Amino acid sequence: MIPHCPLMAVQDPLPTFLIGVGEAGIEILESVKDVVPEEEAENFDYFAIDSQNEFLNKSSIEKQLYLQQPDTLVERQKERFPFLAEDVNFGVKGAERQRPVGRFKLDNPDQPSFSDNFDTLENHIRRFRQEHNSDLIQQNKHINIILVNSLSGGTGSGTYPLLTAIIHYLAEKIRDNNQMFAYFAGFGIVSEFDVGREVKDLPGDDGRYYANSYAALRDLQRLLNSGDGENLRLPVHSRRITKDSEGHGTSDSIEQALEENAFEFEFPPFNDYFLVGVDEDLIHGERSFVGNERYDQVVDNQVAESIYTLAKHGQAMENISGESDEDSRVGTIIETEVRVPHEKLVDYHETKQKIERLETLLFAGQGSPDFFDTDDLESDSDLNEELSTIKYLVRNPTEVFETMEKERADEKKDDIEEQIDSTFGGGLNVVNRTPEDLNDLIENVEESHDLRVIPYVLDEVEKRINEQEPTVRQNREDTVNDMWKHYELSSHPEYGDVSSVTQRMRNLQDFLREQIEETREELETADESWWDGKPGFRGTREKLEDRLSDRKEALEKLQEAINDYESVQALDEAISEKRSDIERRLKKKKRDLDDARDALNRLEEELTEPLSGRRLAEMPITEEAFEDVSVDKLNNEFTDIKAYLNEGWVDHDDFKSALARRFERGYEDEEKLVLQVAEWEDINDEIADQYRALGGEETMTYIEYNEVNEEVVEFDKVQIGVSESSFNRFTDDRHDPFGVKFVTFVRTGPIEILQHYRQLQKYAEEGDLDELVERRWGGDHRLAFAYPEWYGRDIQRRFNVSQTIELPFPPEPDLEFVELDVENQGELKHEFVKRNGVVSYLYQGAKWENYRDGSTEFNGWKSKLDEVGIGWPYLQELSPPPEDKRHWLVGNVEWDEIVNEYKIALEDQEGVKVEFMEMETKDEATE
């Protein structure tokens, strides 16, 4: 059981500036945006950096930096960038898992150049700080800067040390200039695995993830140990080129940030660095579900919630997070939640309502006595039954009213009649209506009633049409036959040879049109005759004019009869179309009903037996909650966890167990694989001492919930013992009333103590990492290193770093000054060669404890060789064979020749060009 812990006061989150780099970094920033409540949004700002434009384009984050493919001929540049191996490939998209390419895209001379990128970042951070100045001047306040990226890709992982250098510098500047604390934390997503696995069984199908993780973790180790005796230097290579050639990117600020084109770390840059493991099998391919959440969401939400908690309770965080100048620890985070699935229950009841609505709509006819006698309904299957119901409903529209109370049904019918009357009227009115009128009517009725009364409307309209149809049909027939007779078309040579009414109708039309046309032509040419204009007589023109108007009248009359007939036909057709339309729409409703029923079943399952996720636990809901409960009641009365517990819809005991389990999860080893400490017998004393000096492992849990739930959030079921100082409870009225959140921060160190790190190191040493990158990097994992300057020749050699160093030319050593525990001169010479005397002398010069010469200033080559990563064992390795040295001792070979052999070996074997400076002896100097 955890001891009682006083509640903490709530505060606004501290101003927090987040920088997300690469796909993983940007995704996580998006999750933070979702997690931060709207009313606190202004305390957060986001900056997305990627070398892949498509990710930036689809991101909702406005502040962006696109690391472009540099224009300058990359081939020409390579030799000027010691971290670019000769065979490095620049693809078009992003850095394609190549860390050195990521670094180059940030540190390159083109636009945006490194200096431009520096300025952009500085401006964003400065502006953010200024915007929050008024909050910040209040006591105890500080600003957070958080860098998020994966360690196993190319862009985020390859740029993070250099970005860290910039941010570290800017954070220091804020601390110095503003008497304000700037907290700087990093979150690194790292490929996780069970320690001890064969490399071929590691998750995921791209071995570069592991090589990159290893190199990035080694960089992290360098960063965390910086200043321990020696400052860590991070050179910016593009600046040499920029300044030489074009002269841009030389703002004062960057000049101040750099010492001879390099950042210097006098102490570890991070206040905290958190490693977050991902399983490459689960995060790729088909998105895997872990219980109730997708795996990538689990990880992203965990990080997002932790960042939010860090921003919100940063004040307390300061007490345990690192003092940046001495702490070289790393951490991880575990976030869990217990929730009452209120939203899902609301959803359940809304779905249930929807189903009821759809059922009434679809099965209105089921109440009628002869419903089940229908032939269509012989099949037993529900599906056929329901589909038949729809057909039945459409064909038997009055059934709809059978399921209603008589009074209501009558009222409905009356109203529908009225609407039909006002659109269609009765009697001959129908004849003048169009299908558009029918559409309007249907729309109006559907709006004031619903879909299922439409077949009734169609029936009613059809009835009226049917009443009129015989009259209209008879009228057309009579008109045609009368005219046929009148114009004696039966004997017409061209038109007379048909018998059906429709054919006769068409011929009559043609005949009349032809007559009209001919008469018009005749009228145009006919001269006025003597009889024209004389009363009682009809002249030629008058006769023609009479004929014309007779034919016109006839045609009009005919046309009218035809139109009446056709409009009735058109309405009839529209009605059958509408019937099938309604049937289609009802079938669609039927599908909606099926979907809703499925959803309801799923919801019920999720609510009664929720899947427990790794992050999120949802409380099961009891059966009573599924019965007759209105959505309104849910929304008004079930507003927090307490209400659910009081009503008995969630079992209080189960709830307390869930709280205990989620709390304990923060303390379980399997939840913090990347931070597991190696077996004690594998740890050497020095590391063990460091571990103890740093305070071993520290755990701090934040428990957060809404204050309305205070009386029901209890921890009496917690089984593990934890000290009072390792957790805090926070309540407020802003927190989600349906959830309790646990965020656990674990810190330990040094990084060498971690089993995960040591396993990667072992893979590297035993050639397993090389095997993993067989296909992509020709079996050389060293290509994962993007900061070879920080490592020895073993790594640098892969990059063919060509450098020139100036070495003092060593004065010939005199055996007189050599002090060894031997008696005679012959033995001394022998021992001198045997004990690497020459190498020791060259390496340490007069500082070598066995050499006592006060007359030269030769202090050895050590410091110069360190700059190019050549340590004692390398120098020893490239020494000329002992015989040569023996020859020199006996005077057969000149000292100059021996020294020259070293020069040649350094050039040939290590690619380091040596230039000798002449040494002054003390005597010369004083003369």
Ligand X SMILES: Nc1nc2c(ncn2[C@@H]2O[C@H](COP(=O)(O)OP(=O)(O)OP(=O)(O)O)[C@@H](O)[C@H]2O)c(=O)[nH]1
**Which of ligand X, Mg ion, none does residue 107 bind (CB under 5 to 8 Å by kind)?**
none
Partner touching 152 among Mg ion, ligand X, none, CB below 5 to 8 Å by kind? ligand X
Tokens representing residue 787 in the block? 């900061």
Minimum CB separation of residue 90 from Mg ion in Å reads 14
CB of 175 or CB of 776, closer to ligand X:
776
CB of 735 to ligand X, least distance (A): 25
- By CB under 5 A, name the one of 23, 107, 272, 460 that touches Mg ion: 23
Q: Which contiguous run of DSSP H or E holds residue 1?
A: none
Long-range contact pairs involving 286-294 (C-beta distance under 8 Å, separation at least 24): 290/613, 290/614, 290/615, 291/611, 291/612, 291/613, 291/614, 291/616, 292/606, 292/610, 292/611, 292/612, 292/613, 292/616, 292/618, 293/613, 293/614, 293/615, 293/616
DSSP letter string over 190-216? EE---TT--GGGSSSS-THHHHHHHHH
Q: Smallest distance from the beta carbon of 288 to ligand X, in angstroms? A: 12
Please, which residue, 103 or 798, has the CB nearer to ligand X?
103
Least separation in angstroms between CB 87 and ligand X: 18
| Token pair in block for residue 900 | 């020259």
CB of 206 to ligand X, least distance (A): 9
739 binds, among Mg ion, ligand X, none (CB under 5 to 8 A by kind): none
Calculate helix-pair angle for 501-525, 540-608, nearest 10 degrees.
140
Q: Which residues contact 714 (CB under 8 A, 6 or more apart)?
A: 656, 659
296 interface partner picked from Mg ion, ligand X, none, CB below 5 to 8 A per type: ligand X
How many CB atoms sit inside 10 A of residue 645's CB? 21
278 binds, among ligand X, Mg ion, none (CB under 5 to 8 A by kind): ligand X
The full length of the chain comes to 927
Q: 783 touches which of ligand X, Mg ion, none (CB within 5 to 8 A by kind)? A: none
Q: Are strands 262-265 and 232-235 parallel, antiparallel or unpaired?
A: antiparallel
The smaller minimum CB distance to Mg ion, of residues 24 and 625, is found at 24
**Contact range with Mg ion by CB under 5 A, out of 91-99, 408-416, 720-728, 783-791:** 91-99
The option from ligand X, Mg ion, none interacting with 399 (CB < 5 to 8 A, set by class) reads none
Nearest distance in Å: CB 295, ligand X: 9
Nearer to ligand X, 104 or 861 (CB): 104
- Token digits of residue 888: 């020199």
Task: Tell me the angle at which helices 882-889 and 825-834 cross, rounded to the nearest 10 degrees.
Answer: 150
**Three-class SS state of 728:** strand
Check binding of 156 to Mg ion (CB under 5 A).
no
Choice between 94 and 880, CB closer to ligand X:
94
**Per-residue exposure over 760-792, b if at least 16 CB sit within 10 Å of its own CB, e if not:** bbebbeeebbbebbeebbeebbbbbbbbbbbbe
Least separation in angstroms between residue 256's CB and ligand X is 29
Report the residue number, 296 or 386, with the smaller CB distance to ligand X. 296
Q: State in angstroms the smallest separation of the CB of 23 from ligand X.
A: 3
C-alpha to C-alpha distances, 59 to 21, 44, 189, 585, 590, nearest whole angstrom: 12, 16, 19, 39, 39
Min dist. Cβ of residue 304 to ligand X (A): 10
CB neighbours of 499 closer than 8 A, spacing ≥ 6?
none
Per-residue interface string for the shown chain with Mg ion, residues 312-341, x marking contact by CB under 5 A: ------------------------------
Q: Which does 813 bind (CB under 5 to 8 A by kind): ligand X, Mg ion, none?
A: none
DSSP letters spanning 63-110? EEEE-PPP-S-HHHHHTT-TTS-TT----SSTTTT-HHHHHHHHS-SS
| Binding partner of 227, given ligand X, Mg ion, none, CB within 5-8 angstroms per partner class | none
CB 224 within 8 A of CB 750: yes
- Shortest distance, position 19 Cβ to Mg ion, whole Å: 15
Q: Which does 283 bind (CB under 5 to 8 A by kind): ligand X, Mg ion, none?
A: ligand X
Q: Which is nearer to Mg ion, 59 or 419 (CB)?
A: 59
**23 versus 192: smaller Cβ distance to Mg ion:** 23
Range 47-76, binding Mg ion (CB under 5 A) = 52
**Three-class SS string for 53-70?**
HHHHHCCCCCEEEECCCC
Q: How far apart are CA 748 and CA 275, in angstroms?
A: 11
Which residues of this protein are in contact with ligand X, per CB under 6 A? Answer: 22-24, 27, 51, 94-97, 149-150, 152-156, 189, 191, 209, 278, 280, 283, 296, 299-300
- The option from Mg ion, ligand X, none interacting with 389 (CB < 5 to 8 A, set by class) reads none
Q: Hey, CA dihedral for 839, 844, 849, 850, is it positive or negative?
A: positive
- Binding at 95: pick from ligand X, Mg ion, none (beta carbon under 5-8 Å per type): ligand X
94 binds Mg ion, rule: CB under 5 A: yes
Q: How far is the CB of 63 from Mg ion (least distance, A)?
A: 18
Q: Which residues contact 842 (CB under 8 A, 6 or more apart)?
A: 810, 860, 861, 875, 899, 902
Question: Measured from the CB atom, is 103 or 222 closer to Mg ion?
Answer: 103
In the list Mg ion, ligand X, none, the entry touching 59 (Cβ below 5 to 8 angstroms by class) is none
The piece of 24-32, 46-54, 231-239, 796-804 that touches Mg ion (CB under 5 A) is 46-54
Nearest approach, Cβ of residue 101 and ligand X (Å): 8
Q: Give me the numbers of helices (H) and strands (E) for the chain, helices first please.
A: 36, 18
- Cβ nearer to Mg ion, comparing 21 with 905: 21
- Applying CB under 5 A, does 206 fall inside the site for Mg ion? no
**Residue 168 vs 208, nearer CB to Mg ion:** 208
Please state the closest distance from residue 55 (CB atom) to Mg ion, in A: 6
Nearer to ligand X, 162 or 189 (CB): 189
Distance CA 164, CA 826 (A): 57
What is the closest distance, in whole angstroms, from the C-beta atom of residue 12 to ligand X in the complex?
A: 27
523 to 515, 517, 529, 548, 551: CA distances (angstroms): 12, 10, 12, 9, 14
Helix, strand or coil for residue 334? strand
- Which residues of this chain interact with Mg ion, rule CB under 5 A? 22-23, 52, 94
